[in-house]
Amino acid sequence: MLCVCLLLCGNALRAEQRMLHCELGIDGGCGYYVGDATEHIFQNVRETYGVNFRYMFDRRWAIRAKGMEQRITGYRSDGTGFVVKNNGMWTNHLITLDVVGEFNFFPFDDVRAESRIKPITPYIATGIGMCLHSKAEEVAAFMPFIVGMKWRCSTHCTLHLAWEHDVYFTDRLENVRDYDNKHNLNGKNLMNVDLTGKLVVGVAVAFARTKRVCRTCQ
């Protein structure tokens, strides 16, 4: 009987100790802008990078805070609001901070002893964010929508690939007079907004194990 109890206790300890609740990571990739000066996603792609912190409540649900820097650019207008490709280009820097809730489609961790728990999973996320732009003179809110894939390549290392599409509550991201809310519709037409997005890869270090508790021996 004692041997059986010790065996069950050992299995419980191994399952408990593998749950890591926190991740700290970095992201990098390419970003784009869609607004009055562009028509399609992935036009005038520029670099984007940042850091993130994730807290996992369990193996499916998590909350993540992320800070990113992104450069957006587009062609200037001819003075009447129409884009002219040989008229030079404008550039604006965005510094964003967002908080999102994440849902993993599969229970996600590195517990290979349990077949239902997977080291790889697709996930989705959404939340709210704030952006500082136009030489730190303007602030705008946005909603991020994210789809991605995570891979726990080792006990303490997670890799991920994610596509994020951000819907802003403003039409002033360009910091160019001919494009910034040129129809004066902000607050009146929800479709008159700017959009940005990112395609990023990232790596994170997992830490903060679940406290070891042997329920069988209690």
Residue 213 pLDDT level (bands cut at 50, 70, 90) = low
**CB atoms near residue 18 (< 10 Å):** 18
Provide, rounded to the nearest whole percent, the portion of the chain with pLDDT above 90.
Answer: 54
Q: How does pLDDT run across 97-153, given as a tens digit for each residue?
A: 999 999 999 999 876 667 788 899 999 999 999 999 998 889 999 999 999 999 999
Is 167 strand, coil or helix? strand
Residue 89 pLDDT level (bands cut at 50, 70, 90) = confident
The full DSSP string for 45-85 is -EEEEEEEEEEESSSSEEEEEEEEEEEEEEE-B-SSS-B-T
**Could you give the CA distance from residue 159 to residue 175 in angstroms, rounded to a whole number?**
35
Pairing of strands 138-154, 89-104: unpaired
- Which class in CATH covers the domain with range 2-217? mainly beta
Sorted by where each begins, the domain ranges of the chain are: 2-217
Q: What are 57's two structure tokens? A: 């409540």
